[in-house]
Chains A and B, each alone.
Chain A
Amino acid sequence: MNSFSFRSIFAAMLLSVVLLPNLRSNDLDETKVALESTLNQLLDVLHANHRTAPYSVKKDQIIGILNQQFSFDVIIQRSLGRNWNKLNDSQKDQVYALITDLVLQSYTRELQDGPRPQLTFYEPKVITSSKIEIESLVLLNESKINISYRMANIKDRGWQVYDVLVEGVSMVSNYRKQFDEHFLKKSASELIDLLKSKLKGA
């Protein structure tokens, strides 16, 4: 090998070491920035006229913002696990809509009451080649809450949140346990009735 090709290979190796990991890091940084932006947009909406405009008024706007980075269909189907197949198509649609409403209504109420929470996002952690976790710290009413977002690089969707962990408690896993318990003794139609009654009382 002469000195010219040796020099070229060395240059190529240098490029691959310097440039390519940066591309990867940039990609992850962009994902973090996008998530941060999505959640800040959500807070903007929640804290605009928050005393006069209830969730029902802002619902479409909230879902529109979150859909940029949250795959609710994945979150809900993973939460139901094997129980998903116990629902017929109509029940699947109803359960999807009702759970989305229940969870968003409950959590957005907490976020919009009181002062606007302060969000700090940390560097993404690579779990596998297609999954990352972004940890964040929420300062709400002087309480510090650790919230992590598990994201997957989904084909044709890009990086999307498929689970949220609050203080290490996985939302998907927690709901999975509840659905398993429900379907031990109760049916899909009872689940729909239960969800409707919870939403009425919420």
Chain B
Amino acid sequence: MKHLIRSGISFAVIAMWALSSNAPAEDFVDLDDLMEMDELLDDDGTVARGGSAEIADPLKGLNRAIFGFNDSVYKNVFQPFTRQYVRVVPKEARKGVGNFFNNLEYPVRLTGNLLQFRFGRASQETGKFFINTTAGMAGFMNAAQEFEGLQPPREDIGQAFGAWGIKHGFYFVLPFLGPTSLRDFVGRFGGNYVDPISEPWTQVDDSTDRLILTAVDTVKDLPEIIDVYNSITGSAIDPYTAVRDGYAQLRAAQVAE
């Protein structure tokens, strides 16, 4: 009997210890505490994703003006154009063109990975490029999508700068192109050096061909850009701030990835 009691107590002590260290379902947040939390994400230790992304905006007045100009261009020019583009160009053709240009951006993604010493992802990018260029008929088909191990997250040079600890500097809005930061703009400029279409080290000699390729490359992204833009601004109280914060959070998440 004594043994039985002793072992019963032992069981209870161990079970209580296990329960207290392993049972998140038993812990509750008080509703008022959750409502009153002013620091959004620091409370749960997940500062890397969202919330903590800050970006200086010393040119806010000018940026808002350019944002207004872009908004007008997107709604009055790009959106109607995109509707026609989607209506006239068959889905498969759009997809093929998108795949082709994505494949050409391989050097930029590779550089972004190498600058972060992410050799595994760099080799995944290389494998993807090799398969898409050969089996995917010069990149028009995304043959590599069949391989789960060849789906690395997209990297660019601005992200690499972020991974090195370089901050945004400040936020600014480019006419037509939209949001960026000093850091990411420099990264984009650096990307031009490894991009096969852009100057200075272009692989396309004829300037007219280069212009056409650049235009097609831009147009192919428009449907998605317009969708995302409408999605953010449609439900926004202040579209400018929504886009600026969305940009800062997105880049922070990409750098942390």
**Could you say which residues of chain A place their CB within 8 Å of the CB of B250?**
167-169
Instruction: List the one stretch of B37-45, B104-112, B159-167 in contact with chain A.
Output: B37-45
* In the complex, residue of chain B having the shortest beta-carbon distance to the beta carbon of A26: B25
B222-257 interface code vs A (CB 8 A; 1 in, 0 out): 001000000100111110011011100110111011
Give chain A nearest CB distance to B89 CB in angstroms: 15
User: Given contacts A24-B24, A170-B51, A174-B245, is CB(A130)–CB(B29) below 8 Å?
Assistant: yes
Q: For the complex, is B50 an interface residue (Cβ under 8 Å from A)?
A: yes
Is B252's CB under 8 angstroms from A182's CB?
no
A16 to B8, CA, bound (A): 14
Indicate which residue in A17, A127, A142, A154 contacts B18 across the interface (CB closer than 8 Å). Answer: A17
Interface segment out of the listed A43-51, A52-60, A62-70, A102-110: A102-110
- On chain A, the residues within 8 Å of B188 by CB distance are none
Question: Which parts of B184-242 form the interface with A (CB within 8 Å)?
Answer: 224, 231, 234-238, 241-242
Which residue of A132, A155, A179 is within 8 Å of B24 (Cβ)?
A132
A-B contact number at CB 8 A: 172
Question: Provided the pairs A15-B15, A17-B18 are in contact, do residues A153 and B25 lie with their beta carbons within 8 angstroms?
Answer: yes
A12 interfacial contact with B, CB 8 Å: yes
Pairwise interchain contact A128-B45, C-beta atoms closer than 8 A: yes
Q: List 5 A-B contacts (CB under 8 A).
A: A5-B6, A12-B7, A24-B23, A126-B24, A169-B50
Which B residues have a C-beta under 8 Å from some C-beta of A? 3, 6-8, 10-11, 14-15, 17-19, 22-31, 34-35, 37-38, 40-41, 44-46, 49-51, 53, 95, 224, 231, 234-238, 241-242, 244-246, 249-250, 252-254, 256-257
